[in-house]
Structure 1
Amino acid sequence: MKRRDFLKIAGAGAGAFIASDLLTSKIAHAAGGRLTVAISSDAWSLDVRTSSDVTSLNVDKQIYNGLMNYDADSNMFPDLAVAAPEQPDDLTYVFKLKEGVQFHKGYGEMTAEDVVYTYDTIRGAIETGQNFFLSLWLKPLAKVEAVDKYTVKFTMAEPYPDFLDTSTMCKIVSKKAAEEFGKDFARNPIGTGPFEFVEWVKDDHILLKKNEAYFTAGVPKLDEVYFQIIPDDTVKVTNLITGQVDMMKEIPPRNLEQLKSAPGVVVGQVPGTQTEQLYFNTKAGPFQDVNLRRAVAFGINRKAIADKVFYGMAKIAYAPTPGWQLPAGDYPADMTKIDYDPDMAKKFLKESSKPDNFEFTCMTTAQGWFVEQLTVIQANLADIGIKMNIEPLEKSVMFGKMRVWDYEASYEDLNAGYFGYSPATAPLFYTPPSRQLGWEDEHGLKAYDLLNKFLVTVNKEERQLVYGDFLKILHDQVPYTQVVYVDSTDAWSESVANYKVGTPNDSMFWETDLS
């Protein structure tokens, strides 16, 4: 996949006043071999089987390996596997494992037994008492077995063309450590990755150190990675410019031009898969009425959000994933596009169960750009006669309420690329009736059947047709509506070498170095 060139900016501008002693302190800070990365929020869980938030997944990608993996340019490569699997038929994948790969902290060699255990716990063949959402992607998997110490055989119930993609998502855990720690494994992660876990101080930092026994020579180059939790965007930007941190994840859009002009700062920006979305509770409350969902969806001025909130660092979203992720590389020609249309919104509102004085509350994450986006949407909806109240919450609290359907609407993002690149990834995360939307009517069940059919359809043209049928239901029933796709952006000190921004804005610090 093509990438934009990275922008290396050095010159006059808002940051040109920085004193030479601050620049010197930046170099001294970097020379110790610790990369300090500013992030906005704490992790939820470092058990890679259950992780679903951005911070957890960024940290996990340093601690764990999958059988296959993606590099920052979205190229798939063998990771714990010696090579791509042998496929004697459409239902069978046989992986040969690298020998001698060691788990962190003396937990022994990674073998086929650990691979089988990881996949079996995820898909529920071994009861652990935890909810492994990754099981959604393993529905076509009938059996995983250890042929010998270094050979694993996967047998599908039906052909599964995205299985290799799934094998990048399912990172391998130590069976011994996972059984020893149980649910506490989430705070005591043991993988085989280039960095091993050291400590986690809630709402302050997560520290990783170099895995001296990593199976790839010369990797990693860094001694430590220190994730510093800094919720305030202004503080993050200032700390990067003044050299108190080496990198910041997810540039605040309003600071993009400032960082591009700051001396000694490098900005990386590529088209992203992060989708800002508004989710409706279709199980209970007012949004059981499809016309209310339609009214809100057509009442959102997406271009205004792309321009005013993201300063052009986002593009209008018409589906759960960008068109390039679909089998044909673009949206179906006959796909309905939900976009700003106040007259259409008023029409649906008039046909709804609450044509007058409709009021609802929308939860969102109490940080970053979420409230800013909802403020624009709030004004849009007021213009068509709908009052929306904004309720900022801590992210885990918000998702906790969604899990028990204790909400009316919720606004969040989903970065599908964190999990995989199949176009089914984003819908599977929310669409199944058992998940947060509670979309249990005939339309939701049919949409879910189409997603499952998509997973096991091999022919590319047929897959595109199946996905197109899914999108028709989605855009007619609107259980959730997409707003914008946000570019992946990071910024870092020029002393940081060999780092790239990946499409899902994830972090690959394996080759990163400090000068």
Structure 2
Amino acid sequence: MSKLIVSFRKPFLVGSLAFLLLVLVAGCSGSKNDADKNTNATNPSTTADQPAEGGTFTYGRPASVTSFDLHNQITSNNAFAIDKVFEPLVAFNGDGKIVDWLAASHNISANGLTYTFVLRDGLKFSDGKGVTAEDAVFSIQRHLNVGGPLAIAAQVASLSAQDEKTLVIKLKAPYTPFISELSNFSNGILPKDFGGVSEKEFFKNPVGTGPFVVKKWDSAGDLTFSKNKYYWQKGKPYIDELVYKLIEDDSQAINQLKAGAIDAIESVALENVNELKQGTDTKVATNGSWVTEQLFFNTLDEHFSDVHVRRALALALDRNGLTNAVTFGFAKPANSLLPPAIPYNTNDTIKALSFDTNAAKAELAKSKFPNGFSTKLLIASGNNSRTQEAQIIQAAAKTIGIDIQIESVELASFRERFFAYDFSAMINSGQADSPEANSILAFQTDPEGFSKSYWTHYTNNEVTKLLHEGQKTPDGEKRAGIYAKLQQILADEVPYIPLYYPDILKGVRSSIDGLVVLPNNSARFEDVRVKGN
């Protein structure tokens, strides 16, 4: 699934789309960073002036962490803290490739029904207790029981610990996305029976295998991690503490970074990127992304239940112009739901509704509202890019007789509103949680899923059929054909208009080495070193 990004984490559904942020083969502008200052080094430098270990790394974030319950969370504010404490059997690296993580190896049977994982030697939780296959069984079974926003969609027949280090998962039917979905933060491993405490107490003081341990936590403010002295990657993390500092305003975050009050910021307003790249004490770490910025329609709304209205707006909107105006060259205009970094993307081959005002007027004439109407567009406040996008969409709609009023509300209210379908249209981001096409498609097209087609309640029986076919079809040309057909239907019926694919961008002090930016908008800090310590 996917998660929600700026508004939350997944699709920034971490889940399907950690919400509304997360297969990266190559990013919008490449999975490699620009040379010199704009680096996404997977390893710190090893030159003679290599920074010493220790110190505190402070990371500015726009939203506080409210929960560590990995099976019940999906928004990015929580997902990108959960993944610092809990780790899965397999994970994805900076290039979006699945790699063994807590598992030293894994094997998938020829029929796609049996998955065998062998744990690494010497794995320990942050309390010093050893990790066993029974812990993995407990963790995955708890996820199956809870379900949650990133529920395991595979039909699991059995989970078993063959010995202390070997976990075997058997499926009732093949499910191609399974190995990729196991890399989600929601499939992290925790101690069996929560280490002997209640669920409530456990998630107040979580114990995992990740590089960091919760030291001090204000659910309405900052969060401080300390290094996990039992971390399985020897000698890491290099820093002593990681602080998530709540900074809700984009401008304040930039100012604090430039002043050296913080070491990096999670979200960089696109208009500030060049300023940071050219600064003497700042740089930009980047990566291609699994993110698609979108205009979403509530198909339960009387106006946007009409496909001709949605098509008319898609034709009225100049996506190339919007992308150029808003992203400063750090994004690519979108025609397809899937970002270029995800396999089976059809952005360059799909027949999208291109900018044509006359065609837009003709399309609206076919609707139930040929003379236009008034409606509202919901956005979260505090995001300059979203505000500008809304204004461009508002102006485009006006050219065909649709009057749009922009509603800018605080982030928490924004989430509550669209969770309750209390909107006509909204701007948000959809994001994959794993390097799999299904991660976004399932979250945005399944009317029976957790998000009800990403809160649009879009329903198309042919799309649902194709979605399920794609889930059981092995990777290859047949699966590519299924997803191409599915994406074309979405482009024709536009339950949401893909706007652009943004690069993942983090503002960083020049004194920082080793920050790894991931394509789901998260980051890894175990290699970070702070110069001057």
Interval of TM-score (by shorter of Structure 1 and Structure 2): 0.7 to 0.9
User: Is 2:320 the counterpart of 1:298?
Assistant: no
SS in 2 for 1:133: coil
- Quick one: which of 97, 101, 113 aligns to 1:79? 101
Deviations 1:127-164 (A, max 9, x none): x4xx51222x5234333222233211111222233222
Instruction: Output aligned runs, 1:26-425, within 5 Å.
Output: 33-87=55-109, 89-105=111-127, 108-123=129-144, 126=145, 128=146, 132-135=148-151, 137-169=152-184, 170-177=187-194, 180-182=197-199, 187-327=204-344, 330-331=346-347, 333=349, 335-368=350-383, 369-416=385-432, 419-425=433-439
Contact persistence 2:295–2:499 (CA under 8 A): yes
SS in 2 for 1:85: strand
Contact persistence 1:404–1:436 (CA under 8 A): no
1:233–1:31 Cα change, 3 Å: farther
Deviations 1:47-99 (A, max 9, x none): 22233222222222211111011222323321111113353642111111224
148-157 vs 396-405, greater mean Cα deviation: 396-405
Q: What CA distance in whole angstroms lies between the structure 2 residues aligned with 1:251 and 1:31?
A: 27
SS in 2 for 1:354: coil
What is the aligned-residue RMSD (CA, Å)?
2.5
Contact persistence 1:7–1:267 (CA under 8 A): no
Residue 433 of structure 1: how far off its partner (Å):
0.8
TM-score normalised by length of structure 1: 0.87
Contact persistence 1:72–1:508 (CA under 8 A): no
Deviations 1:344-367 (A, max 9, x none): 221221111122241111222222
Q: What CA distance in whole angstroms lies between the structure 2 residues aligned with 1:83 and 1:248?
A: 35
Q: What CA distance in whole angstroms lies between the structure 1 residues aligned with 2:125 and 2:517?
A: 27
Deviations 1:211-232 (A, max 9, x none): 0111221111111110111121
Contact persistence 1:47–1:185 (CA under 8 A): no
Q: What CA distance in whole angstroms lies between the structure 1 residues aligned with 2:249 and 2:108?
A: 49
Matched AA of 2:364: L
Q: What CA distance in whole angstroms lies between the structure 1 residues aligned with 2:428 and 2:255?
A: 26
Residue 323 of structure 1: how far off its partner (Å):
3.5
Which structure's residues are more often helix, by fraction?
1
Residue 209 of structure 1: how far off its partner (Å):
0.8
Contact persistence 1:39–1:228 (CA under 8 A): yes
Sequence identity of aligned pairs in percent? 25
Gaps of 5+ in 2: 1-24, 39-51
SS in 1 for 2:104: coil
Q: What CA distance in whole angstroms lies between the structure 1 residues aligned with 2:375 and 2:197?
A: 46
Q: What CA distance in whole angstroms lies between the structure 2 residues aligned with 1:113 and 1:502?
A: 30
Gaps of 5+ in 1: 11-29
Contact persistence 1:433–1:445 (CA under 8 A): no
Residue 105 of structure 1: how far off its partner (Å):
4.0
SS in 2 for 1:69: strand
SS in 2 for 1:287: coil
Contact persistence 2:284–2:505 (CA under 8 A): yes
Matched AA of 1:112: A
Contact persistence 1:47–1:187 (CA under 8 A): no
Residue 502 of structure 1: how far off its partner (Å):
2.5
Contact persistence 2:103–2:120 (CA under 8 A): yes
SS in 1 for 2:80: helix
SS in 2 for 1:220: coil
Report what 1:495 is aligned to.
511
1:167–1:339 Cα change, 3 Å: same
1:138–1:336 Cα change, 3 Å: same
Q: What CA distance in whole angstroms lies between the structure 1 residues aligned with 2:37 and 2:309?
A: 47
Contact persistence 1:9–1:262 (CA under 8 A): no
Contact persistence 2:463–2:489 (CA under 8 A): yes
Residue 186 of structure 1: how far off its partner (Å):
5.2
Q: What CA distance in whole angstroms lies between the structure 1 residues aligned with 2:299 and 2:442?
A: 16
1:474–1:88 Cα change, 3 Å: closer
Report what 2:33 is aligned to.
5
Deviations 1:429-464 (A, max 9, x none): 2321133446667x5233122112111101410001
Q: What CA distance in whole angstroms lies between the structure 2 residues aligned with 1:254 and 1:157?
A: 50
Q: What CA distance in whole angstroms lies between the structure 2 residues aligned with 1:105 and 1:381?
A: 57
Report what 1:484 is aligned to.
500
1:105–1:162 Cα change, 3 Å: same
